[in-house]
Structure 1
Amino acid sequence: MRVPVGTARDRAKADRRAALLAAAARLFAERGFDGVTLGDIGEAAGVSGPAVYRHVSSKQALLGAILVDVSARLLQGGRAVGGGPAVGGAPALGDAPALGDAPAVGDAPALGDAPAAPGDGPARRRADAPSAAGEIPRTDTDVHTTDDPDTVLRALVDFHVAFALAEADVIRVQDRDLDRLSPDDRRAVRDLQNAYVSVWTAALAARDGDAESPAERRVRALACFGLINSTPHSVRGVPAPRVRLTLIRMALAALTA
């Protein structure tokens, strides 16, 4: 059957967008925002220099697309396993909505806690990981089908560990270059990731009741993110399945201590 021209063109455009996002995330992680040009990104993605501007208006807009896109997928995946309304599609390049007051630098918590390990080489995406514009990593418990608080919490941990192992480049980019976003993109990232934190604090509240205040539950969730997010940058010589299981055990221990 012949594919409609519009559909084929839309698919090709989406593929080029995904290639640009993935190449930009990898290069930003390796060299930093200031060490990369749009020409470098286009070359890595197989898109000619002038053609890059048909997909993105600036390097800053591309950075915004990466971090807003990944934040939307993070929230969508968290709500899928932890409960909550679905998230709409990721914004187009540079088209992130303004969703609230501009945060201070570093105020987007769910990805920004990953430090670069001293002397560590560039973060590289695993060969089987999705691109920056790819699908949400699947976990052992990929759909919210239970109201048991312990099961929901375990599902959230499974999801975030899979996400961090798949998106090590993007985590490093946010940690290093969040302050380079436009105010609108930074607001979008902040609000999406704060909503993701709320999924976790709700799960902790369902499990522990009023044993802790909302602020204390938030501290617990953020500490868990820091533990998980920092590890993929420094792991060397340990098989990915072992890393995953270790992170899950440690994260659950931290959350329930």
Structure 2
Amino acid sequence: MPPTPNPRRAEILGAAAGLFARRGFHGVSIGDLGRAVGLTGPALYRHFRGKDDVLAAMLLDISARLHAEGVRIAAEPDPSRALDGLLRGHVAFALDNPALITVHDRELDNVPQPQRREIRRLQRAYVEEWVGVLLRRAPDRPREHARAAVHACFGLLNSTPHSAAGLDRDAMASLLHRMARAALEA
């Protein structure tokens, strides 16, 4: 049975994502993290060993959740519906979590090596779920081509911290979905 989620820990991770995205990992102290959730800095140590543990937990959590959701969606027997599901899921993630995208882009090198390797492993596995769906849709497509298309698609979708400000959420989600689907089918 999976462990019961700790709401305080999740609150800390959410606050840390916003702080790290705005001020950078090195610009945030344990005291800052504690204050953001109404704790003293030392009280934060009941939940995390240190600031690098917060960063690692944040990126491991989102990588694991994306991978698990990708596995679930990719299991859809119809590859076109699976692709639409993967796109909807990642578009929602990108629009709802711009701070996490920013933190990952800027701060992954600050994650301790063992956790960084696991984050990368989960991310590669998530990509391969997408690649598998693309290859089910077009079996003659070279795997390397499909993988490159998925990475390019993620570049488009994960640009939302910079591109999503001008449209309402639904309009941006629709635009991203159409653009990403066209890119993957190119």
Letter in 1 for 2:18: R
**How much does 1:231 deviate?**
2.4
Say which of 11, 19, 23 aligns to 1:19.
11
**2:6 is equivalent to residue 38 of structure 1:** no
Letter in 2 for 1:65: A
SS in 1 for 2:166: coil
TM-score by length of 2: 0.95
Aligned equivalents of 2:119 and 2:138: distance in 1? 29
Q: Indicate the residue corresponding to 2:108 in structure 1.
A: 178
Query: Is the contact made by 2:9 and 2:47 (CA closer than 8 Å) also made in structure 1?
Result: yes
Percent identical: 46
Aligned equivalents of 2:6 and 2:15: distance in 1? 14
SS in 1 for 2:164: coil
Aligned equivalents of 1:231 and 1:191: distance in 2? 24
Query: Is the contact made by 2:101 and 2:161 (CA closer than 8 Å) also made in structure 1?
Result: no
Aligned equivalents of 1:173 and 1:40: distance in 2? 16
Q: Indicate the residue corresponding to 2:97 in structure 1.
A: 167
- Give the count of matched residue pairs: 184
Q: Indicate the residue corresponding to 1:225 in structure 2.
A: 154
Aligned equivalents of 1:19 and 1:234: distance in 2? 26
Query: Is the contact made by 2:21 and 2:103 (CA closer than 8 Å) also made in structure 1?
Result: yes
**How much does 1:54 deviate?**
1.2
**How much does 1:235 deviate?**
2.3
**How much does 1:232 deviate?**
3.5
**How much does 1:69 deviate?**
0.4
**How much does 1:46 deviate?**
1.4
Deviation per residue, 1:67-115 (Å, 9 max, x gap): 00000000011112112xxxxxxxxxxxxxxxxxxxxxxxxxxxxxxxx
Q: Indicate the residue corresponding to 2:171 in structure 1.
A: 242
Letter in 2 for 1:226: G
Letter in 2 for 1:237: G
SS in 2 for 1:46: coil
Structure 2 runs not aligned, ≥5 long: none
Aligned equivalents of 1:232 and 1:54: distance in 2? 32
Query: Is the contact made by 2:21 and 2:99 (CA closer than 8 Å) also made in structure 1?
Result: yes
Q: Indicate the residue corresponding to 1:155 in structure 2.
A: 85
- Please report the RMSD computed on the Cα atoms of aligned residues, expressed in angstroms: 1.4
**How much does 1:213 deviate?**
1.6
Aligned equivalents of 1:245 and 1:188: distance in 2? 32
Aligned equivalents of 1:164 and 1:194: distance in 2? 18
TM-score by length of 1: 0.69
Query: Is the contact made by 2:52 and 2:111 (CA closer than 8 Å) also made in structure 1?
Result: yes
**How much does 1:252 deviate?**
0.4
Letter in 2 for 1:225: F
Question: Higher helix fraction: Structure 1 or Structure 2?
Answer: 2
